[in-house]
Structure 1
Amino acid sequence: MIRRKFITLCKSKYRSFSSLSQPDIDIGYYCDVKNLSEVKQNISLRKGVGNLDRVLDIYSNLKAKDVSDSTREVLEQEFYSELSKLPNKTHPSVREYKDEPRLVHQLNEKKDFGTYTPLEFSEITRLMNLMRTDKLGQTCGHKSYYFLGELAELEEALIKYAITHLIKENFQLISVPDILPKNILESCGMSINSDRTQIYSLDPIHHGSDLYLSGTAEMSLAGLLMNSVHSVKDLPVKLAAVSRCFRAETSNIIEERGVYRVHQFTKVEMFTVTTSEQSEEMLEYLRSMQEKLFLPLGFNMRVLDMPPHELGAPAYRKYDIEAWMPGRNNYGEISSCSNCTDYQSRRLNITYNENNTTKYVHTLNGTACAIPRLLITLLETHQDPKGKIFIPEILQPFINGKKVITKNIAVPDLKLIKLKK
């Protein structure tokens, strides 16, 4: 007989059919016929995968008394596979946004360049010899880059600036791994081995099965807390990490040209764990943290409350911050923060104790600094017609007091040489 754990959810008649390894997804919500219309509408708004009818059909079969153990085991696996694809609930106010985000507010004015037409990031870096993106096939291939000289210094300055600010806010800095197993990524809401996946997989023959490159430190930080139990008095927990982020996605959209969307980049990530009552306030806190970080950098930005189809599977609510990039004459996303409620914690078994009751925590994440999009914004905003880049005053202590970036002469310009056979 297969050993099973039956858990009463939400004091309802619904039970988990799973073995101990299966996630405790809220069957009591998804499989209650009273919620059928709400769940289906949410799936429609999210415009993602999720087949509620199939979930309910398997659920009905599992409740049958004449199901053999072998059949039940197969049905359980399919049930949780389909159940895991269903998206999180959506914040009630966000459901009304349809396909358009709501503008929360704008910060900083757009810079007036007068008669000067601002250059795009790729033009600036080419003229100042600060970056290489062409002919890199022999090293790192398509959608890759080298930052050179003071542009590389500015990258490090941004990281130090963000981390210094977070530590002052009592975030605990964690150094995280970049290689993770499949169950951690899927528990965080990522799609693995599908046509839409953004995740790089490692060769199973040489590196072991089910190993992948992390797309964000959020996954590693969530994995660190897997199967942990917290005291309510110790919440919220605030963590931060610097990591390389690997994305297999590509784009042919003109607005995402150049290094706007690349296969690897550095990011400073915030990750927090709260009680269910604290999470909405924490989301506003994370958004305010991002605004405080970006405001002194001197570029125009707008804060957007994102519509349902932009939330992905895990998020209950998400804010994006888009920066004005003068050289591109367009806004581009530089950060986001999301409240995932108990979507990830149920899958990773992250709980807290309150009044002798065990509850699932709420998890939230937010970008404190994403490179190179922040570099695009800074160079295009603070470029000078005389061929230099002004460094925002708040960043100068993190780049040895430098006030401007000038042309890089330490590394020679790239020259292509044809070799004779």
Structure 2
Amino acid sequence: MIDPKWLRNNPDLVRRSQEARGESVEIVDELLAADEARRSGIAAYESLRAEQKELGKSVARAQGDQKAELLVRTKQLAADVKVAQAASDAAGARFDELMAQVGNIVLDGVPRGGEDEGTVIETVGTPRDFAAEGFEPRDHLEIGELLGAIDMERGTKISGSRFYVLTGVGAQLEFALLNLAMAKADEWGFTQMIPPALVKPSAMAGTGFLGQAAQDVYHLPDDDLYLVGTSEVALAAYHSDEILEADTLPRQYAAFSPCFRREAGSHGRDTRGIFRVHWFDKVEMFVHCRPEDAEEWHQKLLAFEKEFITALEIPFQVLDVASGDLGLSAARKYDCYAWLPTQQRYREITSTSNCTQFQARRLGIRYRTDNGTEPVATLNGTLSAMTRMIIMLLENHQQADGSVRVPEALRPYLGGREILTVAA
């Protein structure tokens, strides 16, 4: 959540941020009123409690009629304290309810607009000219079936629509991507992690995935646990309710986990193949750092993503995501979009978000300073979303006969193979 002091001292900044997100501006005035009611309620309750304590001391010393009078007052005061506590709790609950709906403060320089209004800030590599090579490119599913790498029919039989099975070289491609990603993460100073894919509501809410994104989340009501849509959730909650020593920052983690998404609202979109599915595996980077270092770390995470995609020899663009397309927790986000030959357009494969102190404030993650403690900053970045990386590898490196050239960086993790050949 945002800092309540920011709300009180800079309400216009919060209004501008809400407007940039395309969200309610009026909620800021509601929050200010709720904050005043909350603080007044706390003050009233504490005043009555103090009076109650003093009265208790007076009753102990009093005798006769005076004691009887004080006991009557004690009874009335006890009732008043109960009423004040209930009012204070209600005001606090209303404040928390409203605060949970307010997104992180959008950073200066973020492009304004909606989903299609981000700014392309860099283009890396040149898409292949398949016409010049004399053949029409196949889409990833056709190539995957030729290679014996993707089985959609049996995935649907097992689990339903938008499920799949990676078989043979398809599974080997995922393992190769995993090993390359983890080797790179180790090179860059990240601690490798395999966290739980089931998390408590506090972890999901703390990272901002039970607000606007709740409809896309799988919930197990009997256990009150959630299946994560990204290991960002577990990595953020890893240090919840902890105070970290300043000299241990930054904390860098790279996690491998399955990810589960309902893909709510995507009916009829990307129904062919494995681009938009209900489950996939991913390697995610996560950083806990000092707030003043957050923007520098955001650039580093983007650079790591670019290095990984470049190593796979895939043409891509970097997009500065528009304010109206930011998630609740992100103050700024960069997406990398890879070239998809059969669609003749760039499609999203990675993203990296600077969440400033928003998630840490919700999760109670602080670090020790000379003046006490304050929330850390958190950042996340996709290193390899396996299904989409496999799509881009198959389509961009396909050959006329249906085989696929293996980029040099992946060859050590595929037994030195240079070509993936069509299944017999």
TM-score range, shorter chain: 0.7 to 0.9
Q: How far apart are 1:86 and its partner, in Å?
A: 0.4
**CA drift at 1:256:** 6.4
Amino acid at match of 2:335: D
Return the match for 2:3 from 23, 26, 32: 26
Deviations 1:220-254 (A, max 9, x none): 01111111222222211111110000111141354
Residues 232 and 261 from structure 1, CA distance in 2 versus in 1: closer, same or farther, beyond 3 angstroms? same
| Structure-2 separation of matches of 1:341 and 1:295 | 28
Contact 2:111 2:119 in 1 (8 A): no
Please tell me whether the aligned partners of residues 104 and 305 of structure 1 are also in contact (alpha carbons under 8 angstroms).
yes
Decide which structure has greater helix share.
2
**Is 1:38 paired with 2:38?**
no
Q: 2:161 aligns with which of 142, 153, 171?
A: 142
Answering whether residue 191 of structure 2 is matched by residue 169 of structure 1, we say no
In the TM superposition, residue 255 of structure 1 has moved relative to its aligned partner by 5.0
Aligned pair partner of 2:330 in 298, 312, 315: 315
Cα distance between partner residues in 1 of 2:24 and 2:180: 39
1:85 matched residue in structure 2: 101
Q: Is the 2:156–2:163 contact (alpha carbons within 8 Å) kept by the matching residues of 1?
A: no
CA distance in 2, matches of 1:388, 1:333: 25
1:234 aligns with 2:251: no
**CA RMSD across the alignment:** 2.0
- CA distance, structure 2, for counterparts of residue 81 and residue 394 of structure 1: 49
Q: Distance in 1 between matches of 2:368 and 2:99?
A: 26
* 1:348-391 superposed Cα distances (whole Å, 9 cap, x missing partner): 11111122431211000000101101111110000001120111
Aligned CA distance change for structure 1 residues 120 and 346 (closer, same or farther; 3 Å):
same
Farther off after superposition, 325-334 or 134-143? 134-143
Q: How far did 1:180 drift?
A: 0.4
**Residues 242 and 266 of structure 1 are in contact (CA less than 8 Å); yes or no, is this contact kept in structure 2?**
yes
TM-score, normalising length: structure 2? 0.85
- Name the counterpart of 2:219: 201
Name the SS of the counterpart of 1:161 in structure 2.
helix
What pairs up with 1:203-352 in 2 under 5 angstroms? 203-204=221-222, 208=223, 210-250=224-264, 251-252=266-267, 254=269, 257-352=272-367
Structure-1-length-normalised TM-score = 0.85
> Counterpart amino acid of 1:38?
L
Secondary structure in 2 matching 1:319: strand
Q: Secondary structure at the match of 1:110?
A: coil
Match 1:52 to one of 28, 37, 49: 28
CA distance in 2, matches of 1:132, 1:39: 48
> For 1:387 and 1:150, how far apart are their aligned partners in 2?
14
C-alpha distance in 2 between matches for 1:96 and 1:195: 21
- How many residue pairs were aligned? 379
Question: What residue is the counterpart of 2:417 in the other structure?
Answer: 402
1:195, distance to aligned residue in structure 2 (A)? 8.4
Paired residues of 1:148 and 1:408 also in contact (CA < 8 A) = no
Cα 1:355/1:195, change in 2 over 3 Å: closer
Please point out which of 168, 175, 178 is paired with 2:197: 178
Cα displacement (A) at 1:268: 0.2
Residue identity opposite 2:178 in structure 1: I
Is this contact kept in 1: 2:107–2:331, CA < 8 A?
yes
- Gaps of at least 5 residues in structure 2 are 45-82
Preserved CA contact (<8 Å) 1:46 1:312:
no
CA distance in 1, matches of 2:258, 2:373: 35
* Alpha-carbon shift at residue 61 of structure 1 (Å): 2.5
CA contact (8 A) 2:104 2:355 kept: yes
- C-alpha deviation, 1:196, in angstroms: 5.2
Question: Structure 2: how far apart are the matches of 1:318 and 1:75?
Answer: 34
Q: Distance in 1 between matches of 2:302 and 2:268?
A: 28
How far apart are the structure 2 equivalents of 1:310 and 1:96? 9
In structure 1, distance between residues paired with 2:292 and 2:32: 30
Larger-Rg structure: 2
Query: Displacement of 1:203 after TM fit?
Result: 3.2
